[in-house]
Amino acid sequence: MDSSLFPTSAEYFRILPEMILTVVATLIMFLEAILKDWQKRVFAPIALAGLTAALVAAIAANGSQGTAFHDMLVIDGFATFFRVLVIAVGMLAVFASTEYLKREAHPGGEFYALVLFCVTGQCVMATANELIMIFIGLEISSIASYILAGYLRDDARNNEAALKYFLLGSFATAFLLFGVAWIYGYTGSTNLMEIRRQLETPGGPSVLITGTAAALMFVGFAFKISAAPFQVWAPDVYQGAPAPVSGFLSVGPKAAAFAILLRTYLTAFAPISRQWVPVLWICALATMIVGNFAAIQQSNIKRLLAYSSIAHAGYVLVAVTANSEIGSAAAMFYLAAYAFTNFGAFAVVTHVARKGERYTKVEDFAGLAQKQPAMAAMLTIFLLSLIGVPLTGGFFGKFYIFKAALDSHLVWLTVLGLLNSAVAAYYYLRILVVMYMKDPEPSEALPPAGPALQIAVYGSAIATLVLGIFPSFVLDFASKAALK
């Protein structure tokens, strides 16, 4: 038998993070069945150890770049960037959830196992070099996240969030797959590089058919990144799901979905960029407008953050529309800054919502600055970063995105995008005003945040500030790793 059929050890080394995550997640599920209730505290440390090991493996694998498993996966700087990002988000999610699960009296290993499986899927998405691997990574991540969204199965809000996420998510996947099938049929391959070669060949596959297939795939991606007009699920899901899960879903799967969107469109579909750039232009603008103008009217903070996350997907889409190397680097930097910022905001919401998540109105934040100044200060950092104020990661993120857009001569999109971020400042500042200027209403006492939740909040805040004050390290890496 041909020995080259077997993967080399270097190839196994390149997918070590995914292997570690899968093994640890499976181990947790075994232990869940064996351990007694009082022993179940070990799950969070085990999950964290697994994520840390995967993080180290992902960084180490960057030293041995190349493809694996017959070009199905590719480990390059781009993949490493997103693998490290989604694993870091997974760690924050574990910290924030430990506290949450204890509070809701619903401890369980399967929660951590699902988070790990979800991160595994996102790592596969980050490294996928082939349409079928993209699909499989997306589904590993999605199926785990459907369950996470409805984790408290006796809670009607959780059920509804899970149902909507599941139905619309599978609907989107079917579109993606139909696009994949037609791309495969007309180019004879699912490998991204091979598709590009086919599309570049004069007299190659019909642009009409491949363009339609690419559009079908975009429908699938647009659902996952919650881009307009496919964003309708996001507010309901983020409002209904447990707060730490909403935080996780609004950053991890979204970053990974953007990774595959960037990789597919900037490599495989680069030859037909004249066809898809106008579509993305409209989509980016619509997403920013829908997100920001709907967010203004929200009184529930989880729903407000959901619409704000739609708007942020719009900003990243501007960078994708730029269809350039700097655009790709800007999108990567923005996703990193947005991930820590948005997760941090949801972590503070987790804390303020208290048991049973009864306090999720914007008014419930009244007087937070007097009751718990530290938490209020952290939320201030996150909100300022979401606005894009200097010294926070969000500022440089927006700056690089609009710079990339201008370099690609997208003047109107830049102007409209900047106007949009001015509108966005209104609803973020409203929360700040409530927090600092309004007196607390007499309500249930807010217990101090536990240590794990504090780690999640402070960790996110530190990352947000580091990206805002010393952006060069991450930006240099992103520029080197950007797709050409």
Partner 1 sequence: MPQLPIPASPPIAWYLILSVILFALGVAGFLFRRNIITVFMSIELMLNAVNLSFVTFSYKLRQVDGHIFSFFVMVVAAAEAAVGLAIILTVFKNRQTLEIDEVSSLKN
Question: Would you say 173 or 341 has its CB closer to partner 1?
Answer: 173
Question: Would you say 361 or 403 has its CB closer to partner 1?
Answer: 361
Q: By CB under 8 A, is residue 99 in contact with partner 1?
A: no
Question: Would you say 65 or 300 has its CB closer to partner 1?
Answer: 300
- What is the distance between the alpha carbons of residues 369 and 435, in angstroms, rounded to a whole number? 6
Positive or negative, the CA dihedral 353, 96, 154, 237 is positive
Question: Would you say 174 or 415 has its CB closer to partner 1?
Answer: 174
Q: By CB under 8 A, is residue 177 in contact with partner 1?
A: yes
What are the residues whose beta carbons fall under 8 Å from the beta carbon of 65, sequence distance 6 or more? 75, 76, 77
Task: Fill in the per-residue mask, 426 to 465: x = in contact with partner 1 (CB under 8 A), - = not in contact.
Answer: ----------------------------------------
Minimum separation from the CB atom of position 158 to partner 1 (A): 8
Positive or negative, the CA dihedral 380, 385, 390, 392 is positive
Does residue 229 have a cis peptide bond before it, meaning omega lies within 30 degrees of 0? yes
Member of 174, 415, 419, 422 binding partner 1 (CB under 8 A): 174
- What is the distance between the alpha carbons of residues 102 and 90, in angstroms, rounded to a whole number? 18
- Site residues for partner 1, 210-269, by CB under 8 A, read 235-236, 239-240
- What is the distance between the alpha carbons of residues 32 and 36, in angstroms, rounded to a whole number? 8
Question: Would you say 41 or 153 has its CB closer to partner 1?
Answer: 153
- Site residues for partner 1, 301-320, by CB under 8 A, read 303
Minimum separation from the CB atom of position 71 to partner 1 (A): 13
Question: Would you say 89 or 180 has its CB closer to partner 1?
Answer: 180
Question: Would you say 161 or 195 has its CB closer to partner 1?
Answer: 161
Q: Taking a C-beta distance cutoff of 8 angstroms, is the pair 98, 454 a contact?
A: no
Member of 19, 53, 56, 171 binding partner 1 (CB under 8 A): 171
- What is the distance between the alpha carbons of residues 346 and 237, in angstroms, rounded to a whole number? 14
Give the interface segment with partner 1, choosing from 70-78, 115-123, 176-184, 346-354 (CB under 8 A): 176-184
Give the interface segment with partner 1, choosing from 47-55, 142-150, 312-320, 462-470 (CB under 8 A): 142-150
Q: By CB under 8 A, is residue 300 in contact with partner 1?
A: yes
Minimum separation from the CB atom of position 35 to partner 1 (A): 23
Q: By CB under 8 A, is residue 395 in contact with partner 1?
A: no
Q: By CB under 8 A, is residue 163 in contact with partner 1?
A: yes
- CA end-to-end span of the chain: 38
Q: By CB under 8 A, is residue 477 in contact with partner 1?
A: no
Member of 15, 147, 290, 330 binding partner 1 (CB under 8 A): 147
Category of 356 on φ-ψ map: left (φ > 0), alpha (ψ -120 to 50) or beta: left
Give the interface segment with partner 1, choosing from 16-24, 83-91, 154-162, 449-457 (CB under 8 A): 154-162
Question: Would you say 147 or 384 has its CB closer to partner 1?
Answer: 147
Minimum separation from the CB atom of position 185 to partner 1 (A): 3
Binding-residue total with partner 1 (CB under 8 A): 43
Within 13 Å, how many C-alpha atoms sit on residue 276's CB side? 30
Binding site for partner 1 (CB under 8 A): 132, 135-136, 139, 143, 146-147, 150, 153-154, 156-157, 159-164, 166-167, 170-171, 173-175, 177-178, 180-182, 184-185, 188, 190, 235-236, 239-240, 297-300, 303
